[in-house]
Amino acid sequence: MRASRGGIKRPSMFEVAKLAGVSHQTVSRVINDSPDVSAPTRAKVREAIATLGYRPSNSARALASRRSHTIGLIAGGLRFYGPISAISAIESVARSHGLFLSVSLVHDAMCTQEEFDGLCEIFDEQNVDAFVLLTPTDVMFRAACQTRLEQPRVILTSTHGKLSMREAGRLERPDDRRHTALVGIDQWNAMHEVARLIAGYGHRSALYFAGPQEWRDAVTRALAWNRESQALSIASRVVQCESWDSSEAYARMNHILDSVGSSGSSRPTVVVTANDAQSVGVIRALHERRLGVPRDVSVVGFDDMPAMDDLYPPLTTVRPDFEQMGTAAMREVLRLLGEGEETAFAASAHGVGLIPAQVIKRASLGRVPVI
């Protein structure tokens, strides 16, 4: 018997078998839920397991079932609220199904194909049963699509990017199509809802703060906003940001307000941002100029990060269900492993099963100010 780190010997499968009066093969069958064990025998084995406090090792389960019960997760975007929320849900669902999550974190914008392939090889050596690949940027998405895997893979990404689905070279082989699923947030429809809401409040002059172009979320949101704002006759000026940071949005908003003041041109009546952090920077700049929100300018964000309902004023924003996205990703893993039913997505586009996002109306959005 092996000793634990504290020096106390762990009970073995053979001790469980001896106490229950069965063979160790029978104990293994009970642990792995084999149907080839009678109910009375199963009860005796489980009683012996409880009495001894026996815990089966993952390696023993793998030998019995030819499965490691481990999922390999490669993820980028770990500085941000959405990916962290999705990973938390993935781990929770995995644990509830007796699966272990092995995680590797990469730089979302600087990850190379070589690095990605190397991580997959390391996971392959661990004999992982499947992969979950959280790919917020084009470089990660391309790498996730092009890496050669025998195991099922579930890719979390957005429907659009500067890199198209075809350019990513995804699902080139029939085997890839049978063993791959894509899951994301319905950001396109969410931005349509934002534009319709703003138009309903009478706004026809807007600024749109776009996120960094290497991020697929940013491209999806910008494309959807541009299309719907044009359809609703909203004159929209795009402010292209290089980051998601509030400090950059603050600086850019200050520059715009300086330009408006020096040129005598009119201010936009609403600012829409690609994430909540940008909204925080925009609101700070407006407050420092003694411009009221929404009295003078309305502001709308995206993500509904914690504390956005306590911002002054509380922020109107989009609430993606990141937890549901993570849950759906693990359900797709189980389906591809033959252990679950097909996931019923509310919508899909470009091969991506989509999770809804809800527009949350709060005090930062008001009607067009009367001049």
CATH no. for residue 279? Answer: 3.40.50.2300
**230 lies in the same domain as 300:** yes
How many structural domains is the chain composed of? 3
Which is nearest to 256 in space by CA: 197, 248, 371? Answer: 248
**55 lies in the same domain as 22:** yes
Which of the four pLDDT bands, split at 50, 70 and 90, describes residue 54?
A: confident
**206 lies in the same domain as 299:** yes
Q: Give a yes or no: residue 119 inside a domain.
A: yes
Q: Percent of the chain beyond pLDDT 70?
A: 90
**78 lies in the same domain as 61:** no
**250 lies in the same domain as 304:** yes
**207 lies in the same domain as 230:** yes
pLDDT on residue 176: 56
Range with the lowest mean pLDDT among 175-179, 211-215, 326-330, 341-345? Answer: 175-179
Long-range contacts of 59-65 (CB under 8 A, 24+ apart): 60/13, 60/28, 60/31, 61/31, 61/32, 62/127, 64/28, 64/31, 64/32, 65/32
Which of 298, 319, 340 is a domain's end point? 319
For residue 363, give every residue at least 6 positions away whose Cβ sits within 8 Å of its Cβ, in sequence order, or none.
294, 313, 314, 316
- Tell me: pLDDT of 8 over 90: no
Range of the domain at 338: 70-185+322-355
Which of the four pLDDT bands, split at 50, 70 and 90, describes residue 266?
A: confident
Range with the lowest mean pLDDT among 59-68, 105-114, 294-303? Answer: 59-68
**28 lies in the same domain as 122:** no
Range with the lowest mean pLDDT among 27-31, 155-159, 296-300, 315-319? Answer: 27-31
Q: Give a yes or no: residue 117 inside a domain.
A: yes
Provide the 3-class DSSP secondary structure of residue 131.
strand
Which of 29, 44, 65 is a domain's end point? 65
**112 lies in the same domain as 193:** no
Which of the four pLDDT bands, split at 50, 70 and 90, describes residue 140?
A: very high
**98 lies in the same domain as 120:** yes
Categorise residue 127: left if φ over 0, alpha if ψ from -120 to 50, beta otherwise.
left
**192 lies in the same domain as 225:** yes
Cis peptide, bond prior to residue 313, ω within 30 of zero: yes
pLDDT on residue 9: 66
pLDDT on residue 371: 63
pLDDT on residue 4: 44
Considering the chain, what is the average pLDDT of its residues? Answer: 89
Mean pLDDT across 240-260: 96
Q: Which residue carries 């996120």 as its tokens?
A: 211
- Tell me: pLDDT of 174 over 70: no
